[in-house]
Each structure stands twice: as structure tokens, then as C-alpha cells.
Copies of this chain bind each other. A is one copy, B any other.
């Protein structure tokens, strides 16, 4: 059971609350990515301490490892992973599409070969729903056909239409409302296709709606244009999720358009590459200029890393290849994203989101 409540609006921006069996989360929210049932570099206690209560995982990856049977025998994904709060799983459509030559789309579903051992598999919309229900995830995404960028109008139309047919099949396959089901809007960068997709999916009783097929290589303007077009058209009383987005500035743009949920590998992946988010922009901790910089990564940040460690030490760990660099950088970046969302929520509550957005972007520059 998923309950969504809008507490306040400010322009199109929405301040809400999402409640499920495994707790609740305040929206707009960012979901840390835990593809394989773990957020790389941080244990669950740290994820929770940072204020997160909803994380993202992935059917494609969990299906291959550890497999549905293990998840079921463990008593579900929460028992297996040890994460006690909310879990949303992406269907894996995007991951399967990334396999390129290793996959083939048919009307029935997607045939693909495992990126691990080349073994053959077949995903149908029905199977993905079954997986999500049996694994006991709180929010499951339907299987969709992720339209690549660039794509011709014909291709985008075809894949959008299939996505709608698959969404319907997903609903029909549903056996419980213990796992909420979200639809995914496709249509590439074509406005009429996006709007038709919204129209068709909105008629169906989904628990939430996502915008897919963005942040797949298109120019930023296109991403913003489609988000601004689509978000306000989605059912007002249901949570809206912009998949795979994004950078702080992208999140601000999307919140302004009425998006409630986000996920992105950026904070965690960048942490592993030595890129840290700060109130004045990104920094790269590898830089020689930090060799003797004994100040914290962000003097305005109160995360575990900034309270205890200097740039010089983090740089030392990073250049020495110490695994602790991953841990400390990840904590910092996830804390930064958590705080950003907290400030976004507060500014909506206080009716000053536009002002917050402007101030944040003025201070924040993509410095490196």
C-alpha cells in the first residue's frame, strides 16, 4: 500500500509525503542508488543517518544476482539486504537496453544475454511485476521500452506505443497492492508522443508515474523541455518520478516543473571518481592543490566526512587507492544531496522555492 499526500505547493513545485509499509519519505526526494541491494561505499546505518528512507534497486541486476529464489527464501528483499525502509526497483529496462547487441526486443518482451556470463534470459512485463511482488519491493517500475537518443519519430512512436501496451499488461499481471506499481512515460523528445503517452497511461490506475528516456544523451535543454511539458500533465494526486536525473541543477529544474522523486548514480559514482559536491560547486579531490589543504571539503557541510577529515587527507586516501576514500567521499556526496532535498522541501513549504533555486545556482558553479 502506497499513500501519497501533497502538503503544500509553490507554483508547480510540490511538497509531499509518500507512505508505505516500510516507512515514509518526504518529497521531493532523492533516492540513493543501490543497484545490487547495497549503496556502494556506505552501510545501511549510514544511509539512514543521512536521512534517507527510500532507496533504489534494480530488477535486472537482482535477477542475475542473487536471483529471485534467494530473495524469496530470505523472506524478501528487505530481509535479504538488511534495509528496513522503502525500496523502489527499476524494472531493468534501461539496463537491458544498455546491453546493445546482447538484447533483442520483441512484442512479448526482451530477450537478453547476461553481462556476467552470457547466459540467455527473457523478461516480460508480467515477469517483472511478478519479480517485484515476490521480492516484496515497496514500489515496482513496469518494464518499458527505453527510447534511445537520438531516435527517429517513427522509432520513438513505436516504442512509446509498446511501452503503453506493456504497462497495461503489467497492471493485468498485478496480484497485490502490497507492491505499488509505477508507469513510465516514453516518447523521446517528441512532444506529441510524450503527451499521448501521458494521456494513455493516466487513464490506467497506477500508483505513480515516471518520466523515462531522459538523461540518455540528449542536450540538457531537451531534457528540461520535455520535463516541463510532461510533469504538469501527469495525474496531480500521484507521485511523479524523473528517472536517472540528476545533477543538482537538473533536480532544481525538475522540482520547479512538479517532479517529486529522483534517482541518479552521480553522487555515488562521482564519489568513487574523487568528485565532491560542495555549496560552491564540484571539486576534484585528486587535485594537487589540495595536498596541503587542511580544511574540510565544504566548510558549510556538517557531514561525517567534513566534520572529521580534511581535503588533504581525502586526497591522500584517493591518490593512494585506499578504499576509505570511497567510503568518505560517498558519505559526503549523499549527505550533500540529502541536504539539497531538505532545503528544497523547506523552501516549498515557505513558498520561496524560486528564490532558493536562484540563490543556490548563483553560489553553485560547476567549477571543475
Contacts and interface: CB of A to CB of B under 8 A. Distances in A.
Nearest to A38: B324
A155 interface: no
A251 interface: no
A66 interface: yes
A22 to B, nearest CB: 16
Q: Which 7 A-B pairs have the closest CB atoms?
A: A66-B316, A38-B324, A82-B308, A36-B320, A38-B322, A65-B320, A73-B292
Assembly of this chain: how many copies? 2
Contacts of A40: 322-324
A201 interface: no
Interface in A295-340: 304, 308-310, 312-313, 316-317, 319-320, 322-324, 326-328
Interface in A34-65: 36-45, 65
B323 A74 contact: no
A310 B36 contact: no
23 contacts: A36-B317, A37-B316, A38-B324, A41-B323, A41-B327, A42-B324, A43-B324, A43-B327, A45-B304, A45-B308, A65-B320, A66-B291, A66-B316, A70-B292, A70-B312, A73-B294, A74-B292, A80-B312, A82-B308, A82-B309, A82-B313, A323-B326, A327-B327
Contacts of A70: 291-292, 312, 316
A81 interface: yes
Contacts of A310: 74, 80
Contact of A36 (B44, B79, B316): B316
A41 B322 CA distance: 8
Nearest to A84: B308
A75 to B, nearest CB: 8
Given A309-B82, A326-B323, A74 B294 contact: yes
A69 B44 CA distance: 38
A273 B207 CA distance: 43
B41 A328 contact: no
Contacts of A316: 36-37, 65-66, 70, 80
Contacts of A294: 73-75, 79-80
Interface string A67-100: 0011001110001111000000000000000000
Given A43-B304, A74-B292, 5 more contacts: A37-B317, A42-B324, A45-B304, A70-B292, A74-B294
Residue in A44, A66, A69, A312 with the greatest tally of chain B CB atoms within 10 Å: A66
A42 to B, nearest CB: 8
A43 B42 CA distance: 11
Contacts of A41: 323-324, 327
A44 B308 contact: yes
A98 B211 CA distance: 57
A311 to B, nearest CB: 11
Contacts of A292: 69-70, 73-74
B38 A317 contact: yes
Contacts of A65: 316, 319-320
Contacts of A328: 43
A338 B21 CA distance: 38
A330 to B, nearest CB: 9
Nearest to A36: B320
A327 B326 CA distance: 11
Contacts of A42: 324
